Structure 1
Amino acid sequence: MEIDLGEDPLALDRQVCFALSVASRSVIGIYRPLLKPYGLTHPQYLVLLALWDSAPRSVKDLCDVLRAEPATLSPLLKRLEALGYVSRRRDRADERTLVVDLTEAGHALRAEAEKIPYRVVETLGMEVRELEEVHAVLGRVIAATDGREPL
């Protein structure tokens, strides 16, 4: 199979990396004012989403699910703990394992956070079906770059 990238394969407006970068910044920008009342950043919100899906979780499991490095996750977890949304403790069965769990406030925040996806879809002005298609394509891109199953 021959790949045809057109007349100018380096045209900025045709670069996947450029489109992904701009889209990522733009979409995360939509989340900022929605998360601000809770004192959250977007990466902290992603941690909470993972914990709302399944808690408690080890830091290693969170790193795997979020595709993050422990050095990146550690300050996020400390800040979430300072905000009162999570607790961290050593696993009794294996002291090397740090376990993260939701606090009562972290569990309660979920009800408020359920409004956020609706506001994001509303702000984007796109059909849910279109966003699901974008998500599926991005899942395939991610799988192609890290060798894992699509999101």
Structure 2
Amino acid sequence: MKSIARHFLLVAVVAAGACQAHAGPADDVAATATAFFNAQNAHDLETVSSIMANSEDFLLVRGPALVWGHDAVVKQYAELYKGVWAVKTDGKPPKVVMFNDTAAETFVPVTFTVGPREGETKEFALNVTQIWVRNGGNWQIQSILATPVKPL
């Protein structure tokens, strides 16, 4: 009986290790989302640009403003990065909803700190929802919806 119990324990340990060794699509999306926020904090426009789908259908929604197209959004980030731009998440992995093997959505509550390089900064909370598509072997953002958090 002890050898059967040991066998099942060994199988469970090996299976758990195999699950940790191979990340699934949701883990890949979460890791890429985290890399996107880290690149924003580093003002690494090249990485930010590469994580966003290079499409005229790319959409950034910031409050009432709609910005269409990868290049227009990259241009906007380049301007914002000239000043203070910091994104702080709650430290938890992004919530990922897989639609299928090639499409997903992430949700991340964040606090943005923005402002001119010299001068007063503003801090505000947003809920950021991103739609992701698999492009080749990479996950890329197709749209970003940043919704201000307001008390009810």
TM-score by length of 2: 0.26
Say which structure is richer in helix.
Answer: 1
TM-score by length of 1: 0.26
Say which structure is richer in strand.
Answer: 2
